[in-house]
Amino acid sequence: MEGLLASLNISTVLIFLVVFLIGYRWLTTPKNLPPGPPGLPLVGNMLSFLKAGPRILELLHEWHVQYGDVFTITMGDKRMVFVKSNKSDIFSGRPSNLHVVHTLTEHTGQGVLFSEGPKWKELRRVTLMTMRDFGMGKKTIEERIQDEARAVMGVLDIGQGQPICMKPLLTSFTSNIICSIIFGKRFDYDDPVFKELTSLLTEAVAMPVMFLPVNFLSCLRFLPAVKRKVQEFIDAFLSVDAYLEGLLKDHEETFDPDNIRDFVDLYIKTSRESEDKHLYTARNMRRVILDLFGAGTETTSTTLDWLVLYMVAYPDVQKRCQKEIDEVLGQSRLVTMADRSNLPYIEAVLTEMLRCVPIAPVGVPHVAVREGKVGGYTVPVNTIIMPNIGEIHKDPVTWTDPDTFRPERFLDQDGKFQPPKDNYIPFSLGPRVCLGEALAKMDLFILFSSLIQFYTFTMDKGRQPNLKGNMGITYSA
C-alpha cells in the first residue's frame, strides 16, 4: 500500500510539473507571436530536429509551407523565430546564451562575430578599415589571388588528368589568401603546419553545432558524451588559436611602425594608438583573425567545390562558360577583375550558384535587439532569429522554377548580366552581413574563371555527381 501511495505521489508531482510548465509557457508567450509547430514540455521541438537528422532543411521547409514565411519553435527554454524575409532591421544581435557559443567565446574571446553594441561596431569598423587599407578591392589582393590560382593549377597539372578530390586543394587556396593578407606570407601546400591549420578549420566548421540539444538544455552539458562532443569543437578552435598566438608573438617582436607588412601589423599599430586597451588585446586580435578565417576560407572553398560539382552535373553550362572566356581573352593570360563586365555568363553562373546552394542555408543566428514586427507578427526582444536563406532563395513568389539551376535568369535579352534586386542574401543580411563578402567574390570570380579557362571537369568513370549536401556550420558537398 505504501509503495502504491509513493508511486501515486511521484505521478502526481510529475503531472503537476507538466501542467505547471504548460501553463507557464502559455502565460509567458507574447501575444501575436508567429505561429509554429506544437512542442513538448521541457524540450519543445527539439525531438523533431533530432529525428530529422540530416533532413533539417527539409523539416524547416515543411514548417514554412504549413505556417508561412515566419514561424516560431521552442528549443528547450529558448524561443527561435525562422524568417523567410530580409525586411527587418532588428536582426543585429548575436545570441550569447547558446552553450556552445558561450563556451567558445569564454576560451577564445568574442571577436567581431559574437561581440555586441559599441564593442562590435568598433571591432568591425577597424577590421574592415584595416582590410581596406591593406588592399581589399585593390590590385594587391587581386595579384595574390591570381598567384594562388596559379598554385592550384600547378597541382592539377602535376596530376595530369588523374581523379582528384578538389575540396582540400580549394581549402588550401582560400586559406593561403587569408594567410597572405593577415600574416604577409603564403605556405606551400605540403607544409605540415599549414596542412594542420586547414584540417582543423575544416573539422571545426563541419560540426553541426547550431542544433545540438546542449545549446538549448544546458543541463545536458554534464553528460559525458555531450561534454566530449562540445570539447572536440572547442579543441579544434583552441588549436588554431594556439598557432595564431605564436605567429602574433613573432609579429610583436619584429613590429616596425614605419614598415607595415600585413593585417596583423596594422592591427598592432591601431591597438598601440588606441586609448581603449581593453578592446585591442592580443586575445581579441586572435579572435578577429579566427573570424576572418571563418568568413574567408571554408565558406568560399565550399562554394568553389559546389561550382566544380555543378559544372560536372551541367556540362552544357561548363561549355558555355569556356566559350565565353575563349571569346573574351582566350588562354593568353589569367582573368582579372577588370574582365568581369565582359563575362556576363560567368557572373550569372556564380550568382545562380550562390542562390541554389547558399553555404549557410539558415545563416548565423541573430538576436532581436528590440521588439519588432516581422511579417505582421510581434517578435520579442532577445528572441533568437534564424534567417532562412535557403527558403528565401527558393521562394516561388520571387523565383521562377526555383529548384532549377538556370544561370540565364540573371541575363537580360541582350545577354547582359542583371544582378538580383530582391530576396537574394547569400552573405546574410542586416548590419551583420559577412565580413569576407568582398574577398569571397574576388576569390570565386578569379579562381572559377581560371579553372574553367584551362580545364574541363568530369566525374570519374562509373560515378554520378551527388548534389545533396551535408549540413554543418556550412552546407558542403
pLDDT of residue 87: 60
Beta bridge partners of 384: 80, 367
The CATH code for residues 31-476 is: 1.10.630.10
CB-based contact 321:345 (threshold 8 Å): yes
Closest Cα partner for 268 from 384, 334, 184?
A: 184
pLDDT of residue 455: 96
Cite the annotated binding site for heme by residue number.
434
Q: How far apart are the first and last CA of the chain?
A: 62
Q: Indicate the DSSP class of residue 328.
A: H
Please state at what angle helix 263-273 crosses helix 282-293, rounded to 10 degrees.
Answer: 150
pLDDT of residue 212: 72
Helices within 367-428 (DSSP H only):
389-392
C-alpha cell at 327: 571569346
User: What are the phi and psi torsion angles at 377 (to 5°)?
Assistant: -100, 160
C-alpha cell at 420: 538580383
Please state at what angle helix 437-454 crosses helix 139-159, rounded to 10 degrees.
Answer: 40
Q: Ramachandran region of residue 198, left (φ > 0), alpha (ψ -120 to 50) or beta?
A: alpha
In angstroms, the CA 126 to CA 396 distance is 40
Burial readout 337-347 (b: 16 or more C-beta within 10 A, e: otherwise)? bebbeebbbbb
CB-based contact 197:243 (threshold 8 Å): yes
Neighbours of 181 (CB within 10 A): 23
Neighbours of 161 (CB within 10 A): 10
Q: Which residues contact 354 (CB under 8 A, 6 or more apart)?
A: 303, 426
pLDDT of residue 22: 53
pLDDT of residue 5: 43
pLDDT of residue 463: 79
Per-residue pLDDT of the chain (477 residues; tens, 9 = 90+): 555 444 546 656 556 555 555 555 555 566 789 999 998 888 889 889 888 877 888 899 999 999 999 999 998 888 999 988 766 555 666 666 676 777 777 666 667 766 777 777 777 887 777 777 665 555 588 899 999 999 999 999 998 888 888 999 999 999 999 888 888 888 999 998 888 877 777 676 656 566 677 777 777 778 888 788 888 878 877 887 887 888 788 888 898 988 888 888 888 888 888 777 777 778 888 888 888 887 778 889 999 999 999 999 999 999 999 999 999 999 989 999 999 999 999 999 999 999 998 877 877 778 877 788 888 888 888 888 888 888 999 999 899 999 999 999 999 999 999 999 888 888 876 656 677 788 889 999 999 999 999 999 998 777 788 887 666 555 666
Cite the annotated binding site by residue number.
434
Beta strands in 40-180, from DSSP E residues, in sequence order: 70-75, 78-83
Angle at the Cα of 437 from the Cα atoms of 434 and 443, rounded to 5 degrees: 140
Cα separations in angstroms, 238 against 3, 134, 156:
52, 27, 33
